[in-house]
A and B are shown apart, each in its own frame.
Chain A
Amino acid sequence: MIAYVVRRLALSVVVVWGLATVTFFMLHLLVPGDPVRRALGPRASEETISNLRHQLGFDRPVLEQYGSFLGGLLHGDLGTSLSLSAPVSQILGDRILPSALLIAYGLVVAFAIGLPLGILSAIRPNGTADHGVRIGTTFVFGMPVFWLGLILALVFGLKLGWFPVSGYRSGVGGTFKTLTLPALTLGLSLVVIVTRTLRSNLINVLKSEYIEAARSRGLSERRIIGKLAMRNAIMPTFTILGALIGYLIGGTVVIEQVYQIPGAGSLLVRSILQRDFQTVLAVTLISGAAVVTVSFLTDVLQAVLDPRVRLEGKS
């Protein structure tokens, strides 16, 4: 078990290092021109430019900069934003909470809707309920996230007036009010995946021998599905979260724009329009690291809960 976790952790560290390297060289080799010159504008004097370059260390050899970049990362230093003249880690720190809450709330919505639908369609595959759920989820599958968001804002925000359609307020009540529609948008776009995954897993599990044994002993269907089958069927549904987290982060970028939420996603879009590369790359790197961390945690959790996983690597 420990060996498995260590091996998996080592792999995650390698991937995060790779992410950092790729983002660093993207900034330094692919961006044409001088970021400092562009940030200071055309009227800045040569002296100001070279001073700031020196101050940020941009005049040193690329490999040396790479070294201090990696060193800085270990201390949580993500560089300095040229457009806001503040440490990126500080700017990002203020904006990560709304995004994280949105993702968490969106996941709750996705599972609250997706799990019952998945069970409903797996109980009688190709039955009326299954077809109904499939038709519904297929329609949602083709909806752009921002469009879904606008429709929900139009109906529940502007027409019915139940929720505000833009902004973010902190505190439990404020968060609930301002994030419900965004989370519903994010959650609904995920329901397809949750429902489909659970459905196919549950159908497979229900075919297995131990379920047949339980049936022959006369256990109620409710008990069989709720207690015996779900235990095995729900696991892969949770583990795809590791893959979904990337999708969720992408979704929040768009949804934060729709609902004007001051999160990490809207920071990203703003930074691009202001050509603030340091911030763009910090957000990219942090979101990549978040994906790696979540997939590490889901893998470990899976190994804890399911002995077959941790034994697999040994054979």
Chain B
Amino acid sequence: MTSEMHVLAGPQASVRRRRRHWPVSAVVGLGIIGTIVLLAVLAPIIAPYDPNKLDFASPTLAPSWHHLMGTDQNGRDLFSRTLYGLRLDLAVVAVVTFVPLPIGVVIGSVAGYFGGKLDAVISRLVDIVISFPFMVLVISIIAMVGPGLKGILIGVPIVSWSLYTRLARADMLVIRELPYMEACVALGYSRSRTIFRHAIPNLVRNSLVFSTVDVMGNLLLLAGVSYLGLGAQPPTPELGSIIAEGQAYMLTAWWVVTLPALVLVVFGVGIGILGDSLSDGRLSGVVE
């Protein structure tokens, strides 16, 4: 391929080239994330015990080969509870991260493409939503709909579309000025075709990169809210509420409080490694 053809082939060609060279660290990160997701999906098969089965004959047993993470104050197997908790957490987080993502990207792209009053209104709205401390807003929405996962499922998307809107808008402002957008106009493409088929595929990457960090943030938020007793309600196994329940027995049974969160720490390491290798500094625009 000559260099001129390279230029003509434009952004698509470079995307394809990039895909062929996944950096090693990205593979490692994906491997860690994939393993943990697999553990969560296969929880019913892997878990050695029923996560909710009470066994008052064996309360707070230390970790052993029978109970890999020990048992809690009610004799429930902590390893099984952790697996099911992880399963619930990841399912909720997948919804609250990947539902608002496309919505935010579309709103941001439209605002950036058309500019003017529409853009001003959307941008102020984003400013307002981002000004609420995320945790506090989610908690106050939980206050309205009542404790439980419903509050998370409503509260997080209400806020997090704005992050993707801000990212997509900023990218659209740049893309709008590029020659290939002019070409779309010259070819007589409709605005929606221009935005959806030509601009969004080129700006969605930043949002996808950011979503890796967002997944982790939402996971920690969900665990935190459940720890406060406002998320998943007992006896549902959920990582935050497992730890909250174990807090009273912290001195006699340290494993109830400490071990379940390790799976989050490992997941965070995976996300961190993946995010680092994908981002090359692109995330700096988000924390603004």
Contacts and interface: CB of A to CB of B under 8 A. Distances in A.
Contact of B140 (A134, A151, A197, A284): A284
B133 interface: yes
Nearest to B222: A144
A18 B128 contact: yes
How many chain A residues sit at the interface, stated as a range, is 35 or more
Given A141-B272, A280-B143, A284-B137, A246 B132 contact: yes
Interface string B118-137: 00000011011011111111
Contacts of B240: 144, 146
Nearest to B154: A30
A146 B230 contact: no
A268 B228 CA distance: 11
B139 A253 contact: yes
Contacts of A275: 143
A168 B269 CA distance: 34
Nearest to B283: A196
A141 B133 CA distance: 19
A249 B239 CA distance: 22
A210 interface: no
Contacts of A26: 140-141, 144
A48 B135 CA distance: 36
Contact of A15 (B128, B134, B244, B265): B128
Contacts of B287: 193, 197, 240, 243-244
A280 B136 CA distance: 9
Contact of B268 (A141, A244, A249): A141
Interface in A155-206: 158, 193, 197, 200
Given A30-B144, A246-B131, A288-B132, A142 B230 contact: no
A176 to B, nearest CB: 24
Interface residues of B, number: 53
Contacts of A147: 223, 243, 257-258, 261, 264
Contacts of B223: 144, 146-147
A97 interface: no
Contacts of A63: none
B216 A200 contact: no
A201 to B, nearest CB: 9
B229 interface: yes
A139 B265 contact: yes
B268 A19 contact: no
Interface of A: 11, 14-15, 18-19, 22-23, 26, 30-31, 134, 138-139, 141-147, 150-151, 153-154, 158, 193, 197, 200, 240, 243-247, 249-251, 253-254, 257, 268-269, 271-273, 275, 277, 280-281, 283-284, 287-288, 291-292, 295
